[in-house]
Structures are given as C-alpha cells and as structure tokens.
Amino acid sequence: MSILALHRAHRIRRRPSLLARLLAADANWRERRDISRLSDETLRDIGLTRADLDAQAHRSAWSAPAHWRRDR
C-alpha cells in the first residue's frame, strides 16, 4: 500500500471535529422538531404513526443512529 493510500485511509477513520458533531446534533434536533409538526394525514401518507414521531421527537439531539458512531 502506498503512503498516499495509507494517509487517505487514516484520514477517513478520523473522528469528526467538535464543530462537525455540534452541527450534526443541531441538524438532528431541527429535523426531529420539523417531523413532530407533520399532520396526521401526512403521516398516513408516509406510513408512520404519531407514536413513531413522538419517539423520535423526544430523543436528545446527541442521539444519533448506530451507523454514525465509531464504537461499534
């Protein structure tokens, strides 16, 4: 493996910066807030229930999907 390839592999595995994590948490919070405002008719159209949305809307902003975390 070349030095350049090793450098790229190392760069890909680096942990996201604090700013990137804060921006992701803010995006999560905004998305969950927007989702919680959907009407019941819209929910039926996309196949979700109010309980599904409530569960997502009440998660903390730091709570991210498992595939985002490095500790798997």
Spell out the alpha helix ranges (H) of the chain: 3-13, 18-36, 40-46, 50-57
Output the pLDDT for position 59. Answer: 73
pLDDT at 1: 55
d(CA 10, CA 4): 10
* Average pLDDT in the chain: 76
Q: How confident is the model at residue 35 (pLDDT cuts 50, 70, 90)?
A: confident
Distance of alpha carbon 29 from alpha carbon 14, whole angstroms: 24
Write out the two tokens for 51. 């309980």
* CB-CB contact of 61 with 26 (8 Å): yes
